Structure 1
Amino acid sequence: MQLQKSEGYKIIHEWLLSKGLSAFPFQEKTWQHIINHQSGLVNAPTGFGKTYAVFLGALIQFINQYPADYNKRKNNKLQLLWISPLRALAKDVGRAMEETIEALGMNWKVGIRNGDTTVSERQKQQRNIPEILVITPESLHLLLAQKNNAAFFTGLKIIAVDEWHELLGSKRGVQVELAISRIIGQRKILNEINDISVWGISATIGNLTEAKDVLVSSLNKEGVIIRAALNKRTEISSILPDEIEKYPWAGHLGLKLADKIIPIIKQSNTTLVFINTRGMSERWYQAIVTIAPELSGLVALHHGSMEHEIRTWVEESLHKQKLKAVVCTASLDLGVDFRPVDTVIQVGSPKGVARFLQRAGRSGHQPGETSNIYFLPTHSLELIEAAALKTAIKKNVIESRQPMLLCFDVLIQYLCTLATGDGFIAEQIFNEVKQTYCYKEITEEEWQYLLHNITQGGVALQQYDEFKKVEIENGIYKIKNRAIAMRHRLHIGTIVSEAMLKVKLMNGRYIGVIEEWFISRLEPGAVFTLSGRNLELITIKDMDVIVKQSSSKKTIVPSWQGGRMPLSANLGAMLRKMFDKVAEKKTGKFEEIELEVLKPLFQLQQQLSAIPQANELLIEHIETKDGFHVFVYPFEGRLVHEAMAALLAYRIATIIPITFSIAMNDYGFELLSDKPVPLDDSNVYELFSIDNLLADIQQSVNSVEMAKRKFRDIAVIGGLVFQGYPGEYKKARHLQSSSSLIFSVLSEYEKDSLLLRQAYQEVFDQQMEEVRLRNALQRISSGKIIVRFPGQLTPFCFPIKVDSMRENLTSEKLEERILRMQQQLEKENRK
């Protein structure tokens, strides 16, 4: 059927005209593919209507099917399943859909299903299935754990996965793959496979074709990619310090520049201030209202550890234009309907081009509007990242998201999910699972291992009844024990976070959540900040932290685990190219304002040592009263540097007996010893060789200990460790000891365990970034290595040196010590 001649298109076209709008060509192209029952991926800049490309396509398809009475038909069963990565995003999408449906006079209902959905609302959805269901991956698997779940999806026409680039490359993305495979498998049984299509919606991603292939894999069809040929204008402005510190250090500069964002906030309609970590967002919120008290009540805070009602209020106030600014983390990265936001401020490097573009796109979030984003550095060298980001965006250098393969923990959880519902036939589910991208290489032997694992506990754990979860009855695998089924439903999901405690005032009012490891270090009477308030710790009772409001000026800002993001490979490469420009520039001004203001720093670095070009690696030997330092600058991100530092330390230790302490940041790393380090022109290329890399990595780091920590998450996802019922207080260290015990048992009695293998693989792939490490070593080996012996610390090494001091000093003492160091270094420079 030709789109323009269809009844559905005419109605949608007229509705758009009544609003003074018209469809973009990429939207019409998507609608044509949808009414032809095709599948694929829609890619367009943020704010250009990707959501409507798929959503309106579903409406057109329905109107075409019932042209005479499309607006009278009720209870049409589920037509569109909309999978969303964030709860806040789900609410926004649902609201936008309801407004459109109401304007068209249709009787469709939009349901939202996630962790916040009440039991009564879920039961209502079961009794009266909405035409559109906006759902998270975890809640979708909970649906699959219900009896007769196939009836819920009968009649489903489109599965849409919103912000697919956010899910791809994560275990939540694998959950989506498995859910799609099951729904399609159910349709195959009914011989209705041609009636269903799968669509992904994605903004910024480098590997679009692979992203599309992962999504539509279960359909066994090629699928299409629809790119919007639209240019989204992004204006990037760097906030420059009045004076450049020649000896910069991380986190120090940011809050010093807080006063510079007040005029930006005041002159803008609404501003989002993005902070990379929850702890720093608390500090920035306090700084803004302290500097500009007149903004109190007009500035809000938003991050994932805050109480749900407060976050909802912030989102609603943002939507209704009641706020001038919101200080937020990645919790507001995504969304469809924040029209009033016209300015974004990024505090500190976003560490990736795609993340920066995503955040920039939150302003000017409509077709034809310009996104305005300010970059505020947290130390001087981050200005080079700002210049690198501008260049990367001009050249459209966007990161790829690599899909995960053979996640056996997620598959074990999925099989138990199916067994909790209607049960499953092994051969049928094996064929479905093989159709997914993640498990296309799974072998029959591995499949049988997993079945043995869920029914008998595997080889090592078969003596314990608690691991024999699934029974086989007439060839159907089922969980018949109600207690086991309930425990499983409680822990469906792949996000394994640190143990969280609820923070409540003495009157029982809920404030938010805090990680156990942080709060357990505090004594009663200590004051900490959460949700922008200063709170005094009274006691910890069960899963609750009881607090009262405090007027104390001195407060501890919480830190949450996993807050620091490593530099992406793409941004690292662009950063090294920036140094090419710096090294080549002999006279005149830099084209990039950021490089121009950093000239004094570059001149000092060149004077004391060298500035490496893109094909060069700089190594600095410096002796201080602390010992003998080796600083190395690959510009590859902290994870790669951590592994590279351990590798280099191990290889040097094979030459002479020597021990090191290690520090690193995104630009380089430090090896510190009490004796001279034998690293020079005679052996440097050999030490950075890729020969015997895997064996040397395993020797250089405690890979067993790292795998043991990684196994904790795998054990929780795979159901080997129970996290406790809601309200129960099961400490993280108890979880760790439980998983460590299982790890030890498997290591001794079941060495070929797939979950053990997965733990080691995840350590190499994720924590060490082994592929990226190998590529970096290859680049270094084939390039030029420069060894220098500066007489003092240099601008490049100073931030790494500061990072190495953080663990042993309080923030006040650290600041005093750094100030003395800076003054001493400046004094030596003047000699």
Structure 2
Amino acid sequence: MTAKLNTNPIAKGQLGTPLQRIAQWFKRYGWQPWPYQKKAWQAFKKGQSGLIHVPTGAGKTYAALMGPLMQLMAQAPSKRQQGLKVLVITPLRSLSRDTEKAIQQPIQDMALPITVETRTGDTKQSVRRRQRLALPDILITTPESFSLLLSYANAQELFSQLNCVIVDEWHELVGSKRGLQLELNLSRVKQFNAGFQIWGMSATLADPQAAADVIVGISNNTGEGQPQATVIDAKIKRPINIQTLLPPNMETFPWAGHMGLRMLPSLVAALEINQSTLIFTNTRAQAERWFQEILAAKPEWAGLIALHHGSLDEKNRRFVEDALKSGLIKLVVCTSSLDLGVDFPLVEHVVQIGSPKGVARLMQRAGRAKHRVGETCNITCVPTNALQILEFTAVRHAVEHKKVEAKPSYNNAYDVLAQHIVTCAAGGGFTASDLYTAVTSAYSYQSLTRQQFDWVLELVEHGGSNLKAYPEYHKIEHNQGFYTVKTPRLERLHRMNIGTISSDSQMAVRFAKGKKLGYVEEGFVAKLKRGDRFVFAGRTLELFRVEDDAALVKLSKAKPNVVAKWSGSRMPISESLGAAMRETLNFDSKNTQAKAEFKALAPVFHAQKALSSVPTNNQLLVETCKTREGYHCFLFPFEGRIVHEGLAPLLALRIAKNARTSLSLSVDDYGIELLSKHPFDFEVQFSQELASKALFSQNNLLPDILESINLSNLAKRQFRDIARIAGLTQQNFPGKRHSARQLQTSASLLYDVFQRYDPNNLLVSQAHQETLEQFFELARLARCLTRLGSQQLIINHTERPTPFAFPLIAERVTSTLSNESAAEILKKLATQWDIPA
């Protein structure tokens, strides 16, 4: 839809059917409804539920909204019962403002007597109190606020008039615990009102039908237990033009590193300040650094450039978003905080600093540019090291062949279920059989047995078999089989801790005079001492003192001496991108862009081939060499950091079984390093056919993984989040908040008790399973082993580390304690091996 405003207003008393009035409204803006939008409206009219899956900027909101809106328009206001008719779920609070504006536009233009409100954590307390008693016709909210509404005693009354639920950016929720929370919430509302329809919206899903099945859920009325989901799609082209900003001199361009500031002059020269641009980085620390460096290079851009990430204060973020929409700000350095569907119509160009690490992520970010149907999305990728140029070639190859990552499945998460059971007990109560029926109508809980459900029910009722003696774990009680929360205090405490998002505790960053800048992680502040300087909110700050839950700071003109760190800053490449990289290693394309990239990579590939070789897609390259550090073995599966973190100790264990040795390990997205300080013949281990097959065998995979890693320590950390979500530990209390350390201590004690006295504890089993999947991607690791076992082994002994191997050495050396900066260490290594730093 291309907007072209017609200034003739729509008369308030205009006659015609709802469809005719909607058509007139479209015509007013010079729009023509897309066939897929009409198809979605018809599907809603027929009572169907499902998923609308079309490219960004194609009008998904109106495809999903206009069906329910026409239904409301067809009802006379005097006959329409008061209450919620349409519930719109957004994954981020920041999206709710844009969504509300999009919904309000046709309602205001047609003077419809329909009320629209938003309810999120940012909504005023007075508004939320009013909404507890009566909801508007259309409510926009988040999964967490949805749960809060379901926790009130009048929940059934609040949702009794619901006609439709619309879930925006479903790809952001599906396969996550927030998605499970939403599935359970919808299953609960079906108990109150079975007639409402569910529609999801997304643009970047590998399997739309599977995602549609998840959101719609299981129909227990059919007797078949099958989902009843419709997928609405459209052949609307939004081409993505992926350009790579190539280094001016590859001979001096680094082979390792993630900041990429060597490319600053080239990027600044390529930017046009009059062209609205988003510059995406993968981490908040990287965003802070690039913002400062761009501003230092172009001080005349002050006032036209801004910074945006999730740890900045909400007022600052809103100002940047509004200024970007109005054109007041032209350039924003940001993180995934601007990934999702906030509409910035003036943005013409997107820049990606470093590898996007995933195909869907690049497509999502590229879609922020020219957010209009039919327009080509322009994205410029800026490498931070040489091999990332190969990643950009690979991601273009994957986009062209539509090889998008599949979403993981998450079944029977007991911690989310435990939280949901308490929510339902507070929200009017339940009988066990009725709630079990509702829970198993959620797609991700369809295989939950009654025995498993009863185990979780007993856990929240009286602490299960191990915690019966402790009243704080007795959250619910039943009277003649009807469950409710024991006390009003427990209800309030539960509402304060609703949600599944797990992160380290945050600490506010304020100026000594009181202005808040945002939040950093508590663990980072705990390591600071007075006078330490770090970059945050685009400024260099000096710690003044720590007071209660805030770090008090002042501006500093000196250079920073510490780097602010946040969790989640080491994203691995996805399975789709890893496969695309292996395919493009020997890619001989007629595409001009790919040729330019391979031409730029020629010095790297020349050095790699001179010292070793470049593997094809059906080959596994193994390199061995000796340095002053010891005896090295490098393998290059190109499977991503997380898989490699499981594969490295597994191979080390299996090698040690054949020949006793002690190995140091290093991994990155491309490969694995095994290092022995003492003489060791790695070539024998890989060249012997039987030994080689045993290394990559799936036989005894799980026992070997458990033997090769300290699962208990990792599982304890994972159990901290599970215990919090399940309500065994509480983070928020009236007037105070427990730190991450306090939560970890409490969770560790519970974990040890369960391990000793309840080996079949479902939450402990969940912690072990999540640890294997989240830390090592066990299913993907198994597929990787199968692939490696079938590939041709190329074993090369080299005189020194190759361009592929150097980043692994840099990874290991810079991760050890040292008084030298990472850059200084890399420079020394580069000098030693005559490699560009």
TM interval, short-chain normalised:
over 0.9
Aligned to 2:100: 94
Of 214, 224, 236, which aligns to 2:242?
236
Question: How far apart are the structure 1 equivalents of 2:695 and 2:481?
Answer: 57
1:540-585 residue CA offsets vs partner (Å, 9 max, x unmatched)? 1221111112222334331101122111111111100011327xx9
Q: Which moved more, 1:250-259 or 1:375-384?
A: 250-259
Of 213, 227, 248, which aligns to 2:254?
248
Question: Closer, same or farther in 2 for the Cα pair 1:336/1:171, shift >3 Å?
Answer: same
Matched, 1:281 2:287: yes
Question: How far apart are the structure 2 equivalents of 1:344 and 1:33?
Answer: 35
Matched, 1:793 2:801: yes
Matched, 1:556 2:559: no
Q: Give 1:723 shift.
A: 1.4
Q: Give 1:76 shift.
A: 4.4
Matches within 5 A, 1:102-121: 102-121=108-127
Aligned to 1:665: 668
Q: Give 1:806 shift.
A: 1.5
Q: Give 1:501 shift.
A: 0.8
Matched, 1:133 2:143: no
Aligned to 1:711: 719
Question: How far apart are the structure 2 equivalents of 1:443 and 1:604?
Answer: 58
Question: How far apart are the structure 2 equivalents of 1:515 and 1:336?
Answer: 26
- Percent same amino acid at aligned positions? 39
Q: Which moved more, 1:553-562 or 1:741-750?
A: 553-562
Matched, 1:686 2:694: yes
Question: Which secondary structure state, in structure 1, belongs to the residue aligned with residue 530 of structure 2?
Answer: coil
Question: Closer, same or farther in 2 for the Cα pair 1:464/1:18, shift >3 Å?
Answer: same
Aligned to 1:169: 175
Question: Closer, same or farther in 2 for the Cα pair 1:668/1:726, shift >3 Å?
Answer: farther
Question: Closer, same or farther in 2 for the Cα pair 1:321/1:590, shift >3 Å?
Answer: closer
Q: Give 1:731 shift.
A: 2.6
Question: Which secondary structure state, in structure 1, belongs to the residue aligned with residue 260 of structure 2?
Answer: helix
Question: How far apart are the structure 2 equivalents of 1:701 and 1:719?
Answer: 29
Give the TM-score normalised by the residue count of structure 2.
0.94
Give the TM-score normalised by the residue count of structure 1.
0.95
Of 28, 43, 53, which aligns to 1:33?
43
**Contact residue 86 and residue 166 of structure 2 kept, 8 A:** yes
**Contact residue 343 and residue 368 of structure 2 kept, 8 A:** no
- RMSD of aligned C-alpha atoms? 2.0
Q: Give 1:265 shift.
A: 3.4
Question: How far apart are the structure 2 equivalents of 1:336 and 1:33?
Answer: 26
Letter in 2 for 1:235: N
Q: Which runs of 5+ in 1 are unaligned?
A: 188-192
Q: Give 1:590 shift.
A: 8.8
Q: Which moved more, 1:302-311 or 1:761-770?
A: 761-770
Question: How far apart are the structure 2 equivalents of 1:589 and 1:263?
Answer: 22
Aligned to 1:201: 201
Matches within 5 A, 1:173-188: 173-187=179-193
Question: Closer, same or farther in 2 for the Cα pair 1:499/1:267, shift >3 Å?
Answer: closer
Q: Give 1:312 shift.
A: 0.9
Matched, 1:16 2:26: yes
**Contact residue 278 and residue 332 of structure 2 kept, 8 A:** yes
Of 573, 579, 595, which aligns to 2:579?
573
**Contact residue 169 and residue 341 of structure 2 kept, 8 A:** no
**Contact residue 627 and residue 672 of structure 1 kept, 8 A:** yes
Question: Closer, same or farther in 2 for the Cα pair 1:827/1:198, shift >3 Å?
Answer: closer
**Contact residue 459 and residue 749 of structure 1 kept, 8 A:** no
Aligned to 2:129: 123
**Contact residue 27 and residue 52 of structure 1 kept, 8 A:** yes
Matches within 5 A, 1:341-380: 341-380=347-386
Question: How far apart are the structure 2 equivalents of 1:617 and 1:324?
Answer: 46
Q: How many residues align?
A: 811
Q: Which moved more, 1:457-466 or 1:22-31?
A: 457-466
Q: Give 1:252 shift.
A: 5.4
Question: How far apart are the structure 2 equivalents of 1:301 and 1:127?
Answer: 39
Matched, 1:598 2:604: no
1:764-797 residue CA offsets vs partner (Å, 9 max, x unmatched)? 2221111111111101111111111110011001
**Contact residue 282 and residue 557 of structure 1 kept, 8 A:** no
Question: How far apart are the structure 1 equivalents of 2:300 and 2:265?
Answer: 13
Aligned to 2:68: 58
Aligned to 1:772: 780
Q: Give 1:616 shift.
A: 0.9
Matches within 5 A, 1:312-331: 312-331=318-337
Question: How far apart are the structure 2 equivalents of 1:216 and 1:729?
Answer: 36
**Contact residue 299 and residue 326 of structure 1 kept, 8 A:** yes
Question: How far apart are the structure 1 equivalents of 2:451 and 2:301?
Answer: 63
Q: Give 1:604 shift.
A: 0.8
Q: Give 1:336 shift.
A: 3.9
Of 265, 272, 275, which aligns to 1:269?
275
Aligned to 1:750: 758
Question: How far apart are the structure 2 equivalents of 1:226 and 1:589?
Answer: 35
Aligned to 1:190: none
**Contact residue 349 and residue 382 of structure 1 kept, 8 A:** yes
Aligned to 1:212: 212
Letter in 1 for 2:197: S
Question: Closer, same or farther in 2 for the Cα pair 1:253/1:743, shift >3 Å?
Answer: closer
Question: Which secondary structure state, in structure 2, belongs to the residue aligned with residue 427 of structure 1?
Answer: helix
Question: How far apart are the structure 2 equivalents of 1:245 and 1:353?
Answer: 29
Letter in 2 for 1:636: E
Question: Which secondary structure state, in structure 1, belongs to the residue aligned with residue 158 of structure 2?
Answer: helix
Letter in 2 for 1:214: V
Matched, 1:725 2:728: no
Question: Which secondary structure state, in structure 1, belongs to the residue aligned with residue 448 of structure 2?
Answer: coil
Letter in 2 for 1:762: E
Letter in 2 for 1:225: V
Matches within 5 A, 1:297-446: 297-446=303-452
Q: Give 1:46 shift.
A: 0.8
Question: Which secondary structure state, in structure 1, belongs to the residue aligned with residue 686 of structure 2?
Answer: coil
Question: Closer, same or farther in 2 for the Cα pair 1:588/1:315, shift >3 Å?
Answer: closer
